[in-house]
Amino acid sequence: MKHYFIIGALVVVCTFLIQAGLIGIGLLPVQASLQAVSIDQIMYVHVWLISFLFSLIIVILTYSLVVFRRKKGESGDGVYITGSNRLEIAWTLIPLVAVIILAYVGAGSLGVVRRIDPSALVVKVISAQWSWQFQYPDYGIVSTELILPVGQQIDLQMTSRDVIHGFWIPEFRVKQDLVPGRTTDLRITPTLIGNFKVRCSVLCGTKHSYMEGKVNVISKADFDAWVAQQQSIVITDPVVRGQLIVAQNGCDSCHTVDGTKGIGPTWARLYQSTVTLSDGTKVIADSAYLTSSIVDPNLQIVAGYSANRMPIFGDSLDAKAIADIVAYIESLK
């Protein structure tokens, strides 16, 4: 019986030491959202369980190797053990009960994460290879940075223009995929003022590792001031408007403006140049060609490039926005 007490005491001590070591190395980044609280609680429960199970296995194994090893002069066989029905029932029922309890706790945490606040700020998130765009429909603002007021729930309504992407801010813990043709949602309530990054959590192409966006959590007063400042901006130059639309829609992720090779054809000196298409024909890149290439990029494929790589912006941009983009491209001489 003394072996059980010794092993039990060693398991308890080892569990506390391993748990303290794991927590001490900083497994998780800073906690910056209300949703992170319940998620971290579940995480720490798992850390305790992992520490206990690891200790249980290692302590029993090490203790057995040291205490019950074959002593010098012993030559007989060890005690023959046929099995234990009680032990087998115990190691079946205990994990089953543990899984059920964890499932119940996890469901409660999911309910907290998914709970919607009627006063939540709606932000539409649009992803594309390889950029983020954030729209504030209540204020008529479009931004390439996610600006959030601290202490207010944010209802993120998200979709993708091309492939599946993943919206993930590690400090907020929650994560959600963005699927083409669907709108998925995510609720976050920032609790810490500071600068963070949104990362794509799904391998989405050659520049996946560079698909990061700035997230700035500010006070409610600063957020109101930012909204007022953004709403006061009036841009009259179509070239400047076009450049802004290009940045907001991630067009510069594929098209360069300095003549270097990119995912798509460069825009440098493209206007009024001769373009060779994939079928061998040549066309002049006039305003009509540029407009057509934005509205339906698969209509005329440039030689050396494949179809279906560029989103059909005729479905998401109005005629004025497309005209501004064309004006911007025409200015790149």
Q: pLDDT-derived band of residue 234, with 50, 70 and 90 as boundaries? A: low
Q: pLDDT-derived band of residue 117, with 50, 70 and 90 as boundaries? A: confident
Strands (DSSP E) contained in the chain are: 121-128, 131-136, 141-143, 146-149, 154-160, 165-168, 175-178, 184-188, 194-200, 212-218, 274-276, 282-284
Query: Are 195 and 110 contained in the same domain?
Result: no
Q: Would the pLDDT of 287 be above 70?
A: yes
Query: Are 101 and 130 contained in the same domain?
Result: no
Q: pLDDT-derived band of residue 163, with 50, 70 and 90 as boundaries? A: confident
Helix, strand, coil percent content, the chain, rounded in steps of 5: 45, 20, 35
Query: Are 131 and 219 contained in the same domain?
Result: yes
Q: Would the pLDDT of 192 be above 80?
A: yes
Which of 265, 256, 274 is CA-nearest to residue 297? Answer: 265
Which neighbouring-strand residues pair with 196? 215
Query: Are 249 and 326 contained in the same domain?
Result: yes
Question: What per-residue confidence (pLDDT) applies to 196?
Answer: 93
* Within a domain: 80: no
Averaged pLDDT, 14-34: 85
Query: Are 218 and 199 contained in the same domain?
Result: yes
Taking all residues of the chain, what is their mean pLDDT, rounded to a whole number? Answer: 85
CATH code of the domain covering residue 321: 1.10.760.10
**Predicted model pTM:** 0.67
Distance of CA 328 to the CA centre of its chain: 32
Question: What per-residue confidence (pLDDT) applies to 318?
Answer: 81
Contact (Cβ atoms closer than 8 angstroms) between residue 44 and residue 179? no
* Within a domain: 222: yes
Q: Within 13 Å of residue 241, how many CA atoms lie on the same side as its CB? A: 13
For the stretch 293-312, pLDDT in tens is 888 888 888 887 877 777 77
* Domain residue limits at 248: 238-330
Q: How many domains does the chain have?
A: 3
Query: Are 171 and 93 contained in the same domain?
Result: no
Query: Are 227 and 242 contained in the same domain?
Result: no
Query: Are 245 and 325 contained in the same domain?
Result: yes
Out of 22-26, 38-42, 77-81, 134-138, least confident range: 77-81
Last residue of a domain, one of 232, 265, 300: 232
Last residue of a domain, one of 232, 261, 295: 232
Q: Encoding tokens for residue 106?
A: 């996890």
Which neighbouring-strand residues pair with 184? 158
Q: Within 13 Å of residue 317, how many CA atoms lie on the same side as its CB? A: 25
Last residue of a domain, one of 232, 261, 288: 232
For the stretch 289-297, contacts whose Cβ atoms lie closer than 8 Å and that sit 24 or more positions apart, written own/partner, are: 290/325, 290/326, 290/329, 290/330, 291/322, 291/323, 291/326, 294/322, 294/325, 294/326, 295/322
